[in-house]
């Protein structure tokens, strides 16, 4: 008991420390992000941006976790990824010289993302975002990291790496700031590698202490450091945008500028959706627990709408901060309150902190974050993804660098569509193929008709389809039908069972037209059966010719289609075979009319009115019935009071033989579908025949065994076709 108390006592300080580290990490990232967006000529917007971003961190975290049971903390924060995508737009708007333009851009993007998150969460549309193939999503996020690193480098050096190499060779002062930034990014990487959870904080301490130590050693004051570019231009009080500032910005937004900016805003919104979905999935793996992503999307959306209206940037769940806190052993809500408290305390001093942080520290931190994103989503995936998938992710990154994020998203969407089509096309659209020898309607017929359908069953093909019938899968159906017709040469009917088909597209309808032409050349008709409402609607409003006298026909159910074709085929029988009876059925089984006559004499011939129940579901009975005239229905009673027709038994059929032989309770009702005449053998009569006349009993049992064997054989063949 005391041991447990000690553990709990130790957990609280660890949790508070973890929250404080998360707070320092958030503050440092916020300072770097603010310098990234508002550095240079737009520095007047820094104080307000710092306050907005820090308040957003606190609000996003509190709203996300409010009312949730939390065995471990979850943290939300403003995100670098969407801002990296927006960076080209910020450069465009910086020409106005008004920080208000940047706040307007950030806020509009946050509101747009918030609306999208809310809609996706409320209507449960996240599954569509998850349909994007993993290599494409990974490429998007890696591209964001590459853009962030490139833009951060641009903060401290106007040229490219080749220019930097030349300046280094010439020992130009211009090379100092980018070299310090790259050096600090390397220090961050080594520190995180050595000290996974506290590495960023330790590197910041080293960077700040080292910088001011050098300043002191060389007598460099803060003003001189700012002149050298080692510190950002000094900022002071918050300047709130006025209505006049807003009007000035809006007046400068011409059509060309909007055409450049709006696609970038759309791209940032898309990236924010991928970001929150993947961060949620990452947090689930980190915490080893399910996170209600719909709930989280709605909450994150509400926060983004609210903070975006104030001019803040996009925020959502941060898997990296959550992972760091988890690794430090934090529990419950203490880390959250600790992080929020530290952030709130820092808000009044945010501008002072910004003035204190060297330029290369902010740039180096962003370089490190960008490089880390590229490492996680591209470099680390090299051995995990297939070669083609990995090259696709890399291609998206390269396209984003060369042509921008909007083009990269376009390439990704096209790639996702192609991957989806190719992978879906590999799924078998043809579930099974059978014929009348294995698959029949629900009408059980006498031996003569059954034998005829067995002999000519290969004249009818039943093709069961599944999935989404579209251009990628429809071509296989045409090839399959062609193969059936060419191989057989005598198929007069093809039944296409659409029961498991979800939808068809225009290409699939064109394929059905080609099948119609193909079938016509063989003198074959095609019956489309069991189409759902949407498929039936799409096909009927197309240019296809449907009807009883056309090559293409329809049937409400596959069973109706099978029964119709069976009736048509049986019309070819001679009259005495087409109209079976108890006598003709027994003659065919026993091969001896005298034995048939003796069996029927032992059974009672009964007139049965339509609707009469002969067998009751659940009753224990071994009676059997042989139909002489009319039809019987086998009906299953459902829990809701309704009934389901399982079979229809025609003349010459034997009914009730399974329960009679197995000694089981009746599994369904048997009711006269029409006025009928049956031969009835009760359990007692069967027992009497067995005891009194072994020869007759053998013939009777042979009739039952033949019926059971036929049903078993048909079932086995049907299962074999399904495989």
Instruction: Note the pLDDT tens digit of each residue in 698-709.
Output: 887 787 777 777
* Domain housing 670: 580-722
* Position 489 in a domain: yes
Burial of 20 (0-12, 13-18, 19+ CB in 10 A): middle
- By C-alpha distance, which of 415, 438, 359, 32 is closest to 178? 359
Judgement on whether residues 522 and 595 belong to the same structural domain of the protein? no
Average pLDDT over the chain reads 87
Residue range 330-357: mean pLDDT, rounded: 91
Q: Which of 356, 374, 392 is the last residue of a domain?
A: 374
Judgement on whether residues 322 and 225 belong to the same structural domain of the protein? yes
* Position 145 in a domain: no
Residue 293, C-beta contacts closer than 8 angstroms, at least 6 positions apart: 121, 126, 277, 280
pLDDT of the residue at 4: 37
pLDDT of the residue at 124: 82
Q: Where are the beta strands (DSSP E) in 133-254?
A: none
- Whether the per-residue pLDDT at 395 is higher than 60: the answer is yes
| Cα-based distances in Å from 554 to 21, 260, 536, 539, 639 | 69, 53, 9, 10, 32
pLDDT of the residue at 722: 44
Q: How far apart are CA 59 and CA 340, in angstroms?
A: 9
**446 φ/ψ sector (left φ>0, alpha ψ -120 to 50, else beta):** beta
Highest mean pLDDT among 28-37, 71-80, 282-291: 28-37
pLDDT of the residue at 5: 39
Judgement on whether residues 301 and 440 belong to the same structural domain of the protein? no
Residue 307, C-beta contacts closer than 8 angstroms, at least 6 positions apart: 52, 55, 56, 59, 60, 110, 315
* Position 159 in a domain: no
- By C-alpha distance, which of 467, 459, 457 is closest to 430? 467
Residue range 177-202: mean pLDDT, rounded: 91
Among residues of the chain, what percentage have pLDDT more than 70?
94
Q: How far apart are CA 77 and CA 30, in angstroms?
A: 9
pLDDT band at 721 (very low <50, low <70, confident <90, very high): very low
Neighbours of 565 (CB within 10 A): 22
Q: How far apart are CA 288 and CA 417, in angstroms?
A: 32
Judgement on whether residues 16 and 114 belong to the same structural domain of the protein? yes
Burial of 375 (0-12, 13-18, 19+ CB in 10 A): middle
- Whether the per-residue pLDDT at 97 is higher than 90: the answer is no
pLDDT of the residue at 530: 95
* Position 275 in a domain: yes
Judgement on whether residues 468 and 358 belong to the same structural domain of the protein? no
The count of domains in the chain is 3
pLDDT of the residue at 127: 66
Highest mean pLDDT among 15-29, 276-290, 689-703: 15-29
Judgement on whether residues 472 and 599 belong to the same structural domain of the protein? no
Q: How far apart are CA 522 and CA 115, in angstroms?
A: 57
Where b means 16+ CB within 10 Å and e means fewer, 123-147 reads eeebeebeebbbbbbbbbbbbbbbb
- Report pLDDT digits (tens) over 20-64: 988 998 999 999 999 999 977 888 999 999 999 999 999 999 998
Neighbours of 548 (CB within 10 A): 8
- Helix, strand, or coil (residue 671): strand
Q: Which of 349, 374, 399 is the last residue of a domain?
A: 374
Q: How much is the CA Rg of the chain, to the nearest whole Å?
A: 39
pLDDT of the residue at 37: 92
Highest mean pLDDT among 186-200, 244-258, 268-282, 520-534: 520-534
**570 φ/ψ sector (left φ>0, alpha ψ -120 to 50, else beta):** alpha
Among residues of the chain, what percentage have pLDDT more than 90?
43
- Whether the per-residue pLDDT at 592 is higher than 70: the answer is yes
Judgement on whether residues 482 and 357 belong to the same structural domain of the protein? no
Check: CB of residue 114 under 8 Å from CB of residue 303.
yes
* Position 204 in a domain: yes
Top pLDDT among 361 and 658 is at: 361
pLDDT band at 294 (very low <50, low <70, confident <90, very high): confident
Top pLDDT among 610 and 657 is at: 610
Q: How far apart are CA 44 and CA 237, in angstroms?
A: 9
Residue range 508-523: mean pLDDT, rounded: 90
- Report pLDDT digits (tens) over 604-650: 999 999 999 999 998 888 888 999 999 999 898 888 888 888 889 89
- Whether the per-residue pLDDT at 104 is higher than 50: the answer is yes
pLDDT of the residue at 612: 94
pLDDT band at 1 (very low <50, low <70, confident <90, very high): very low
- Whether the per-residue pLDDT at 470 is higher than 90: the answer is no
Angle (CA) 518-521-524 rounded to 5° is 80
- Whether the per-residue pLDDT at 396 is higher than 80: the answer is yes
- By C-alpha distance, which of 452, 450, 573, 431 is closest to 502? 431
Sheet containing 493-504: which strands, arranged edge to edge? 430-435, 460-469, 493-504, 525-529, 552-555
pLDDT of the residue at 685: 87
Judgement on whether residues 290 and 278 belong to the same structural domain of the protein? yes
- By C-alpha distance, which of 140, 144, 215 is closest to 180? 215
Assign residue 553 the CATH number of its domain: 3.30.750.24
* Position 678 in a domain: yes
- By C-alpha distance, which of 582, 681, 619, 614 is closest to 690? 681
Judgement on whether residues 635 and 521 belong to the same structural domain of the protein? no
Judgement on whether residues 503 and 355 belong to the same structural domain of the protein? no
Strand partners, 681: 624
- Whether the per-residue pLDDT at 358 is higher than 50: the answer is yes
Q: Which of 560, 576, 592 is the last residue of a domain?
A: 576
* Position 390 in a domain: no
State how beta strands 493-504 and 460-469 pair: parallel
pLDDT band at 678 (very low <50, low <70, confident <90, very high): very high
- Report pLDDT digits (tens) over 555-575: 999 999 999 999 999 999 887
Check: CB of residue 560 under 8 Å from CB of residue 440.
no
Check: CB of residue 385 under 8 Å from CB of residue 137.
no
Top pLDDT among 52 and 447 is at: 52
Residue 129, C-beta contacts closer than 8 angstroms, at least 6 positions apart: 120, 273, 274, 277
Assign residue 687 the CATH number of its domain: 2.60.120.10
Q: How far apart are CA 148 and CA 401, in angstroms?
A: 10
* Position 405 in a domain: no
Q: The whole model's pTM is what?
A: 0.66
Judgement on whether residues 194 and 309 belong to the same structural domain of the protein? yes
* 468, containing H or E segment: strand 460-469
Judgement on whether residues 186 and 313 belong to the same structural domain of the protein? yes
């Amino acid at each position: 008991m005391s041991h447990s108390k000690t553990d709990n006592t130790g957990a609280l300080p660890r949790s508070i420390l973890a929250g404080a580290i998360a707070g320092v990490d958030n503050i440092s990232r916020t300072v770097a992000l603010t310098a990234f967006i508002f550095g240079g000529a737009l520095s007047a917007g820094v104080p307000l941006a710092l306050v907005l971003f820090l308040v957003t961190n606190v609000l996003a975290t509190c709203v996300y976790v409010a009312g949730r049971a939390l065995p471990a903390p979850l943290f939300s924060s403003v995100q670098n990824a969407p801002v990296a995508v927006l960076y080209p737009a910020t450069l465009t708007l910086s020409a106005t010289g008004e920080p208000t333009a940047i706040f307007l851009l950030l806020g509009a993007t946050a509101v747009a993302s918030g609306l999208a998150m809310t809609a996706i969460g409320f209507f449960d549309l996240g599954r569509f975002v998850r349909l994007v193939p993993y290599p494409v999503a990974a490429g998007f996020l890696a591209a964001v990291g590459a853009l962030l690193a490139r833009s951060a480098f641009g903060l401290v050096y106007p040229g490219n790496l080749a220019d930097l190499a030349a300046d280094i060779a010439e020992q130009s002062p211009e090379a100092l700031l980018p070299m310090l930034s790259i050096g600090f990014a390397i220090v961050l990487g080594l520190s995180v590698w050595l000290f996974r959870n506290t590495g960023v904080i330790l590197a910041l301490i080293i960077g700040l202490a080292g910088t001011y130590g050098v300043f002191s050693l060389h007598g460099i004051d803060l003003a001189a450091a700012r002149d050298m570019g080692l510190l950002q231009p000094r900022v002071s009080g918050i300047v709130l945008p006025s209505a006049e500032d807003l009007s000035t910005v809006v007046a400068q937004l011409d059509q060309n500028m909007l055409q450049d900016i709006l696609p970038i805003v759309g791209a940032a919104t898309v990236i924010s959706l991928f970001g929150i979905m993947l961060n949620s999935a990452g947090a689930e793996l980190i915490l080893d627990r399910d996170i209600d992503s719909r709930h989280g999307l709605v909450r994150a959306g509400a926060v983004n709408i609210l903070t975006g209206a104030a001019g803040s940037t996009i925020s959502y769940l941060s898997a990296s901060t959550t992972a760091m806190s988890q690794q430090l052993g934090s529990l419950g809500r203490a880390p959250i309150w600790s992080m929020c408290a530290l952030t709130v305390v820092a808000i009044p001093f945010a501008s002072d902190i910004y003035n204190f942080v060297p330029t290369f520290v902010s740039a180096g931190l962003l370089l490190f974050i960008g490089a880390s994103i590229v490492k996680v989503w591209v470099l680390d995936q090299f051995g995990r993804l297939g070669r083609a998938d990995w090259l696709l992710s890399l291609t998206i990154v390269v396209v984003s660098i060369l042509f921008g994020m909007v083009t990269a998203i376009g390439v990704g969407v096209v790639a996702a569509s192609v991957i989806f089509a190719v992978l879906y096309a590999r799924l078998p659209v043809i579930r099974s193929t059978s014929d009348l020898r294995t698959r029949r309607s629900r009408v059980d017929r006498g031996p003569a008709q059954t034998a005829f359908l067995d002999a000519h069953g290969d004249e009818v093909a039943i093709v069961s389809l599944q999935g989404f019938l579209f251009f990628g899968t429809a071509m296989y159906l045409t090839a399959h039908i062609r193969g059936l017709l060419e191989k057989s040469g005598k198929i007069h009917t093809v039944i296409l069972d659409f029961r498991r088909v979800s939808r068809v597209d225009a290409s699939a309808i064109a394929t059905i037209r080609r099948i119609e032409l193909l079938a016509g050349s063989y003198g074959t008709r095609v019956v489309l059966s069991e189409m759902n409402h949407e498929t039936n609607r799409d096909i009927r409003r197309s240019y296809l010719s449907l009807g009883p006298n056309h090559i293409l026909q329809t049937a409400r159910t596959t069973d109706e289609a099978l029964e119709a074709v069976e009736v048509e085929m049986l019309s070819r029988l001679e009259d005495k075979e087409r109209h079976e009876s108890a006598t003709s059925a027994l003659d065919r089984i026993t091969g001896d009319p005298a034995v048939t006559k003796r069996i029927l004499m032992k059974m009672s011939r009964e007139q049965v009115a339509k609707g009469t129940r002969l067998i009751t579901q659940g009753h224990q009975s071994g009676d059997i019935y042989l139909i002489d005239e009319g039809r019987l229905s086998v009906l299953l009673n459902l829990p809701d009071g309704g009934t389901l027709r399982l079979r229809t038994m025609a003349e010459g059929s034997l009914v009730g033989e399974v329960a009679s032989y197995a000694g089981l309770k009746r599994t369904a009702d048997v009711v006269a579908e029409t006025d009928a005449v049956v031969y009835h053998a009760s359990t007692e009569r069967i027992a009497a025949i067995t005891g009194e006349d072994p020869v007759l009993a053998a013939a009777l049992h042979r009739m039952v065994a033949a019926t059971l064997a036929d049903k078993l054989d048909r079932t086995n063949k049907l299962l074999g076709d399904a495989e």
